[in-house]
Amino acid sequence: MPTPTPPLSSLPEVPMCEKTEDRDTNSSPPWAKIKLTPAEVEIERMILRNELKDAEVNYFCRVEPILQDGPQCGLVALAMASQEYRKPVAVSHLLAEARVRGFTQHGEVYSVDFMATLAAEYLPDHRPDVMVDLQQYPDALSHALAHGAMVLIPYDSDFNHAPCLKRGHKAHWALLVGLISSRQGYHVLARHGKSRHLACWPLRDLIESNGNLEEEGATRHAGGYVIPKGGVGGQRGLRGRALALRPYT
């Protein structure tokens, strides 16, 4: 089960990674003795980079990155989520299963419902909960994360992989693994298949990008993609929808 990370301490005036071996321990500030994990150091840097005031990490689940090979971003995101188990599922296994079920040809997944079916099969200790109308209920995502869920969410990916508005032509999947609250509002921490680094995005930008997913891009893989009935923006597609993976308690 994901173990919520306690809020990180307020940022000090000196670098967090400054060596402390030669210091007088009686005069060292409290944070000088704190050893952060690489992920926590990365989060601290993102908080600084985004100038998040009074930031607190409300939730964080440590997940190792997996890079995608081809249009497998959704399957990669699900494979990363499966790291909560002793025997995580391989992307190749998910791809084979998705093909058998008629969900994909090349690794693409254009339906949140398809993803929920795979999650129910391979993440038995998590309850897949399809979330809808995210633009109408924007607090649903922050609530799910704050209560220990990971979230699989489709969005349009810009050149730097941040959320953008391309009507679904750059559709991509991310796994939300953390939530930061600050004076600037909520930011989410995400893993996705095109980077080894954690991403940090304003939650409102991600929700807006998710809500603009209307159609697949004109440049399609040879042989085409599997598009659910009703299209990318339909009731079984991607627009306004996400998948919360809630741990059973």
Name 248's Cβ contacts closer than 8 Å, sequence gap at least 6: 125, 126, 127
Based on the residue annotation, tell me whether 73 is a catalytic residue of this protein: yes
**C-alpha gyration radius of the chain:** 19
Alpha carbon distance 34, 22 (integer Å): 15
Sign of CA dihedral 6, 10, 11, 14: negative
CB count within 10 Å of CB 125 equals: 10
> What is d(CA 224, CA 175) in angstroms, rounded to the nearest whole number?
25
Give the span between the Cα atoms of 119 and 245, in whole angstroms.
8
Backbone torsions φ then ψ of 157, nearest 5 degrees: -100, 125
Q: Which two tokens stand for residue 196?
A: 């080894």
Which segments within 132-184 are labelled E, that is strand?
A: 150-157, 163-164, 171-182
Q: Which of the following is catalytic: 17, 61, 73, 164? A: 73
Which are the catalytic amino acids? 73
